[in-house]
Amino acid sequence: MRNKLSLIFLSCLFSSAVLAGDGEYAVFRIPKELLKNANAVIRLQEQYTELLKEDKLFSREHYVITILNEEGDRFSGMFEYYDKFRDIKSVDGTLYDAMGMKIKSLKNKDIEDGSGSSGNNLADDSRYKKHNFYHRVYPYTIEYTIESVKKETMFFSSWIPVWSELIAVQKSIFAVDVPGGYLLRYKPFNYTREPVIKEAGGRKVYNWSLENYEAVKREFAAPSWKQITPAVLFAPSDFVIEDFKGTMTDWKELGKFQLSLNKGRDQLPDELKKKVAELTNGVKTAEEKIVRLYQFLQSNTRYISIQLGIGGWRPLEASFVASKLYGDCKALSNYMYALLKEAGIKSHYTLIKAGQGEDDLELDFPSRQFNHAIICVPMEKDSLWLECTSQTQSPGYMGGFTGNRHALLITEEGGKVTATPRYGINDNTQVRQIKAQLTEDGRLQVRAHTIYSCMQQDDLQMLINSLSKDKVKEVLQEKLDFATYEVDRFNYKENKSKRPSVEEELDISVSNYATITGKRLFIVPNIMTRHGRRLTQQEERKYPLELDVEYRDTDSVEIVIPAGYTAESVPTDVVLETRFGKYRSTVKIDGNRILYFRTMEHFAGNFAAKEYAELVKFYEAMYKADRARLVLVKSESTPKSF
């Protein structure tokens, strides 16, 4: 039985729901300022978490949200996962009209219950409960209450009261109930008040709240959501999951817990040990041995997700991968660790938060912030990093998926935070050379040679390794920035290394590239590399700028013009130097050739909101310069052809 303090707190917390029948959730009761820019308004959200035992958490979430228009419909449903570690005890729901009067109540038969396994998962014990009233008479209000019990204490729910952009919050309350001696760890963002703490019966209840928070309109290059809206992250001190206990008060202890999960799961069958010896005997350097074993992994295994029970955090045995030849990121990384260990090479199973544009770790808040596993091999001068789920990626290269961030090495002493390789402006390059021939009827024959390096090659490298040649051509026929064109020939060559590149050769026939007006041809000398983003000027920028990728583009273009034409108007040189980057373009006429040169450097960094106007000008100036036209005029003395 829960203690008296908890019962009193819950009674006060949720008593407002009974007022709904009196029109408590009528739309006219929403403060006018909360309707500005809002597609929906969270009228009330009450979240309560109680630590029942060292291995059990009770949660109750009650929320009421008013949907104002069609754009808000995506927030009108209920969707809850459950699995071996989480039971959903009850779900209640009610639909109200604009006046806050009840229209319909949720019935158990209306709740969809389905498998949570995705197409990438071979085995997954997660399931979901899902419901939607599918009411489309605006505005309307929905209310849900979900009670659940988690049979693990490694994860505490976070408080994110502002669900998304263009949602206002009328009231949100978050409470955590723990034993008096328990260390509840939390980290606030954009929330300066201390939690209200109530103590009774040997327990503590922590309370956070937010009221009348206006809808946020997301701005270009704004920082992450938790950097611009209120949020509180939570993590346990001591925790239990299945039969494993751990401590999360520092990274070292968290690493020790992962070490205990991995213990004894790196054993290889005898025939595979012989294969490792065959691959590495006589090889002189450790790096060459690593590359050979990594290529063996890539050639003989494939990624398939398996998420059963504690398998979401614990890798499958290396012997399983050896026999089945598949596994998820944890299993394949553990398998690679075992192969290296058999070859006498020390490596570290490594946890990381993967994904293009993902936030880096909160280094001052040790907690389970990871979604991926990789391998780090310490070398004499540097470390060699291995992405074990890719069958095509270069050894040592992390790219935009796991590069430029921190990770947690699982060492024999415990966890150790370190940085993955950083890819800067001298790494992320695109170097393009074009030779083209312009005909009198406006057609352009283009031969382009381009080398894409590091993060500039990521998407292309994946494309050419995942699609057939015919499919690649279909993509090329769609993505190039020409109105009407035909790809006559294409070829790709990969250069694999720690700083990989893809070499591209294209022959393209472009119809009507030049605009013809009488005896004049209007042509854009920048054929293929044009800055495509235009920003809207804002009266007042609210949030700082965060530009997270830096790169350099270099273009050299030669266009042979038809006989009898001369340049009547040539774009002037453009030179731009800003805190966000640099740009330079020049156009010259050399006999019957147009010579165009362009370099663009885009910097990464954090910038004040007041500097946004300068970024708008920089992008706009590049946009216009990249589309500047040269005018060719036909000489009157040129004889007509018949």
Of 425, 441, 431, the residue nearest 484 (C-alpha): 441
pLDDT in tens, 451-496: 999 999 999 999 999 999 999 999 999 999 999 999 999 999 999 9
Which pLDDT does position 23 carry in this prediction?
Answer: 87
**Mean pLDDT of the residues in the chain:** 93
Lowest mean pLDDT among 66-75, 151-160, 537-546, 582-591: 537-546
For residue 584, the domain's CATH number is 2.60.120.1130
CA-based end-to-end distance of the chain? 101
Is the same domain home to 310 and 442? no
Q: Is residue 640 part of a domain?
A: no
Of 390, 386, 376, 359, the residue nearest 418 (C-alpha): 376
Q: Is residue 304 part of a domain?
A: yes
Is the same domain home to 126 and 238? yes
pLDDT in tens, 310-327: 767 899 999 999 999 999
- Residue that has been written with the tokens 């992994």 in this structure: 297
**Cα separation of 448 and 361, whole Å?**
41
Residue 21 clears pLDDT 90, i.e. is over it: no
Is the same domain home to 410 and 504? no
Residue 298 clears pLDDT 60, i.e. is over it: yes
Q: Is residue 350 part of a domain?
A: yes
Three-class SS string for 6-50? Answer: HHHHHHHHHHHHHHHHHCCCCHHHCCHHHHCCCCEEEEEEEEEEE
- Residue that has been written with the tokens 């406006």 in this structure: 442
Q: How many CB atoms lie within 10 A of CB 183?
A: 11
Which pLDDT does position 574 carry in this prediction?
Answer: 98
Residue 185 clears pLDDT 80, i.e. is over it: yes
The alpha-helical segments, DSSP class H, found in 219-375 are: 225-228, 251-262, 270-280, 286-300, 318-324, 329-342
Q: Is 464 helix (H, G, I), strand (E, B) or coil?
A: helix
**Cα separation of 538 and 353, whole Å?**
33
Is the same domain home to 364 and 501? no
Q: Is residue 108 part of a domain?
A: yes
Beta bridge partners of 490: 506
For residue 255, the domain's CATH number is 3.10.620.30
Residue 4 clears pLDDT 50, i.e. is over it: no
Residue 557 clears pLDDT 90, i.e. is over it: yes
**Cα separation of 545 and 115, whole Å?**
41
The verdict on pTM exceeding 0.85 is yes
**Cα separation of 160 and 61, whole Å?**
13
Residue 11 clears pLDDT 80, i.e. is over it: no
pLDDT in tens, 563-579: 999 999 999 999 999 99
Which pLDDT does position 357 carry in this prediction?
Answer: 86
Which pLDDT does position 227 carry in this prediction?
Answer: 94
Burial call 150-162: b when 16+ CB within 10 Å, e when fewer: bbbbbbbebbbbb
Three-point CA angle 82, 85, 87, nearest 5°: 50
Three-point CA angle 423, 426, 431, nearest 5°: 115
Q: Note whether 261 and 324 are within 8 A (CB).
A: no
Top-confidence residue, 10 or 500: 500
Of 4, 17, 142, 144, the residue nearest 88 (C-alpha): 144
**Cα separation of 237 and 527, whole Å?**
58
Q: Note whether 195 and 208 are within 8 A (CB).
A: yes
Three-class SS string for 202-248? Answer: CEEEEEEEEEEECCCCCCCCCCCHHHHCCEEEEECCEEEECCEEEEC
Q: What is the DSSP letter of 69?
A: S
Q: What is the DSSP letter of 610?
A: G
Is the same domain home to 405 and 443? no
Is the same domain home to 277 and 388? yes
Confidence of residue 87 (pLDDT cuts 50, 70, 90): very high
**Cα separation of 83 and 125, whole Å?**
6
Q: Is residue 639 part of a domain?
A: no
Is the same domain home to 334 and 371? yes
Residue 91 clears pLDDT 80, i.e. is over it: yes
- Residue that has been written with the tokens 């979430």 in this structure: 61
Instruction: Provide mean pLDDT across the span 334-343.
Output: 98
Which pLDDT does position 2 carry in this prediction?
Answer: 43
Residue 243 clears pLDDT 90, i.e. is over it: no
> Computed from CA positions of residues 179, 185, 190, 193, in that sequence, does the dihedral angle turn out positive or negative?
positive
Domain boundary among the residues 360, 390, 419 is at 419
Number of domains the chain contains: 3
Domain boundary among the residues 179, 212, 242 is at 242
Is the same domain home to 342 and 375? yes
Residue 426 clears pLDDT 90, i.e. is over it: yes
DSSP 398-441: -HHHH-SSEEEEEETTEEEEEEPPP--TTTSEEEEEEEEEE-TT
Q: How far apart, in Å, are the Cα atoms of 599 and each of 71, 431, 596, 624?
A: 41, 9, 10, 15
**Cα separation of 518 and 537, whole Å?**
38
Residue 425 in tokens:
């402006």
Amino acid 38 reads A
Q: Is residue 641 part of a domain?
A: no
Residue 84 clears pLDDT 80, i.e. is over it: yes
Is the same domain home to 414 and 509? no
Pairing assessment for the beta strands 372-378 and 348-352 based on DSSP bridges: antiparallel
Domain boundary among the residues 221, 242, 263 is at 242
Which pLDDT does position 540 carry in this prediction?
Answer: 87
For residue 168, the domain's CATH number is 2.60.40.3140
Beta bridge partners of 451: 431, 503
Is the same domain home to 475 and 380? no
Is the same domain home to 265 and 188? no
Strands, sheet with 515-517, edge to edge from the N-terminal-most edge strand = 515-517, 520-523, 630-634, 565-569
Residue 637 clears pLDDT 70, i.e. is over it: no
Which pLDDT does position 381 carry in this prediction?
Answer: 87
**Domain residues for 233?**
4-242
Is the same domain home to 465 and 400? no
Q: Is residue 401 part of a domain?
A: yes
Q: Is residue 117 part of a domain?
A: yes
Phi and psi angles of residue 556, each rounded to the nearest 5 degrees, phi first: -135, 120
- Percent of the chain residues past pLDDT 70, beyond the cut: 94
Residue 18 clears pLDDT 50, i.e. is over it: no
